[in-house]
Each structure stands twice: as C-alpha cells, then as structure tokens.
Structure 1
Amino acid sequence: MAKPTPSSGSSAPAPPSSPGPGPRATRRHILDELGRHAWVHFACHGQQDLDEPSRNAVLLHDEPLTVLDVARLGAVDAELAFLSACATASGGATLPDEAIHLASSLQTAGFRHVIATLWPIYDAVAPQVGQDVYQALADAGQTRDLAALLHQAVRRLRDRDDSRSPLVWAPYVHIGAVTVPGLTGATEIRQKEATAVRSVAGNARRSTSRPSAGSSPAERCGRSPTWAGTHIPGCPAEV
C-alpha cells in the first residue's frame, strides 16, 4: 500500500491507502508504484531464503517481491517503508556479516526510514504496532524522530501483560536516519564519534593494564587471576 508523495519529504502524510490489498497488489504494480510514493506499507507474509538472501521477499497477490527486485529499482526519493511482515530485516546463513535483506535494499534504493522485523511476528500484535507508530507520526507531523517513535510503540507493547516475551515485542527495528539531540551537522557528529572512540579506547587500556611486578598480591590479583589470558604469577588459580 502506498500514499502519493507529499510536498515535503519530512512531513507526515495520511496513512498509506493505495494500491491496497487484493488483486491489485501484484509484483509488477508494486514495482511501478514504489518510486512514485513517499510512504509505503506492506502488511503481508514475508519469506526468508537462508541460502540465497537476495531471494528474501514479501509475498504479493501473484508472486514474491524480492530483494533483487528492489535492488533493480534504481534511485528513488522516498521517506518511509514499513515492512509489517516476517523477517524483513534478516539476511542469510552463508553471508552472516552482510546485510542482504528487504529493509537494507529499500534503504539503499532511497527510503530514508525503514521499519522492519528480525524474525517472524505475531498477527495479533503487528497491527497495533503499526497503529501506534502512525498515530505518533500524525501527532508529530514529521518523520525525523521515527526511531524514537517506534521505540515508544515497542515499549508500550512490551509493557502489556500478554507481551512480555521478547519474541513478541523485540523483532521491530528502525533502519535509516536518526536524529541526534544537540548535533546539527555531519562534522559535529564525526567529532563526537571520534571523541567517544578515544574515550572508550582509553577506558579499555586502563581496565586491562597489567599490574606492576612491585604491587601487592591484592593489587596484582584483584578479582581475576589472569590478564589478557595469561596467569599472573603469585595469584591463586581461582579467586
């Protein structure tokens, strides 16, 4: 389902409405429409191929819409793709370190925000997640904070008495642009990231510094008799 492109890519249009379910939701029709709409919403079955992740797909009225189909789209200028189907952000078993799935292919095609799932989802709760996200978007009037809005919807789902299992609430993920409070440009973000990396590296060095030979047994052994996998002389085998 899709909604015509609004005048501003960051504004929040009404919930998606066309081409809709049923015979019109064919592979060819969807491919023709994807580049013409800012928002798309898939509420259908998902299919995962662990051996050939490029065949991962959502199941339409006539045939699957695969990762390869989306990859062949070319560049589009779109805002949001909501994949309310099973395992749409899950890749394959042969290339576990590569993100080959529908969510990444839609983001690469040009969708700034993609909401997808890491494993099969429950029919009983998926519509509520979608409703909460779209209501929050309508209230916000923009998609800039979509990651936070999805987080809030998932928290509400998690807090329900019948949804405590992570299998129910944890599969929903946001992929794409994220607003970082207090930062206004890419340069500042890179500077903050560099500072954070230096801080983490410094903390790691301090936490793994080998005790000096002249320190006391308590200082040398601490809570662990090993350092970097090597036994420290004078420490018991277990502490």
Structure 2
Amino acid sequence: MTDNIAALFAEQTAAKFLTATPTNGGFIGADIERLLAERATVIYRDVADATYYGASIHLKQQNFAILNTAQSLRQRYYHAAQMLWELTATSYQTNVTASTVFTVAIMLPSRHTIATWHRLRRKSDSAAMALVRLADQTAMPYQVVTQRLAALQVLTPSDRLCLSEADWLTWRTAHHSFPSALDRPLHLVHFDRLTTDVMRYLEHDQLTTRDAARLLDNANPDLAQHYEARSNS
C-alpha cells in the first residue's frame, strides 16, 4: 500500500509541476537540465562507471546535483529528472516507485504521449520505428518509452517491443537512416562550485576532512583522495 500511496503522491506532484512549467505544448526533453539548474547547482563529471548516473548532495542549505556525462544523453536527461524529484517532493523523496512515477510523468505526460504515439504510429512502417521516433522527440531511453506506452495501454501484444537498450541501438542501426546524438555521451566536466564551497567550509572548520572527501568523491576524486589521506594521517 505504501508504494501505491507514494505513486499517487508522485503523480499529483508531477501534475502540479507540469502545470507550473511551460513546455510550449511539447515535451520537456533536454530542457530538464535547465529546470534542474534552477533548483540546484549542476555538476558535470565524467565517471567511467556504467552503473553510475549521478548523485544529489545537500550542503549547508545548498543543493548540488552531479550528472555523469559518460552516460548517453538519454540516460543523463532521465536521471536529471529523477534528481528533480528529490528537490521537488515534500514526501517519499527516497521511494523508488515515487521517483520513477514522477520522472516518467513529467518527461512523458500521458495525454501528450498518447496523442503523439498515435500520430507517429500512423506515419510509421512499424511500431518499432514509431517508438524510436517518440524516444527521439522525448529524449528518453527506449526502454523507458516502451514501459510508459505499455502502462498507458497503447501497445498491442503484436508490437513486441520488449528490447534491452542495447538491442534498441542495434535495431536502430539496422533499420533507421540516421543515428541520434542522444545515444552518445556529451563529455563535460564542471565541478568548480562544489569544490570551492567544500574548501571554504573546511577552511573555516565547518567540515571535517573525512566529510570533505565524501562530498567530493565523485565531483573531484583527486581532491577527495587528498582529503581522505589527510583524515587518515
């Protein structure tokens, strides 16, 4: 029951967010990072770990959001939306179900997603091609789009679109004329603000060197290692 309540709360929060967020009648897409930056200092870090997408840090009344730019842009935007949930929600911030529901609800709002899907399906040779086009319009991972369409009950059993993200990339290469920049990472490193703040708080004895190392673990690993060594000496 807790997950059901959390999901309902997330849907309501998403509806309020979309009402207050102009999208020019379309999808949020890449604008999600701009919306995230309005609520937190966004830190871009290239982390060579396929399982790491980012992290949220709250430091002295300031919010920081770390995004891993080694991930594809689709994955980066999806996880930026998840971080937005943590900054927007007043309850259930750490609930996985609520986070997922909010993310798909703001990036793939039901009414617009259904209308766009039907339009693309009429103009496409196959359901798979229509899904690829919808994924490009929404800047979302293929699997996320598939799951959303299934939840909205607009996929038929004959569509058979249950592919992994890697399989979608293979299918696209074989059937689509153009690759998408969304399937590639856009490498970027920007972490000065968090580093500067941590160093300032450390200088004024408002942080321990161990805490400084923990906060900078993914944003500035070289400096984090230096602080960790200091804390162990």
Q: What interval of TM-score do these two structures reach, taking the shorter chain for normalisation?
A: under 0.3
Q: What's the TM-score, normalizing by structure 1?
A: 0.25
User: Which has the larger strand fraction?
Assistant: 1
Q: What's the TM-score, normalizing by structure 2?
A: 0.25
User: Which has the larger helix fraction?
Assistant: 2
Higher CA-based Rg: 1
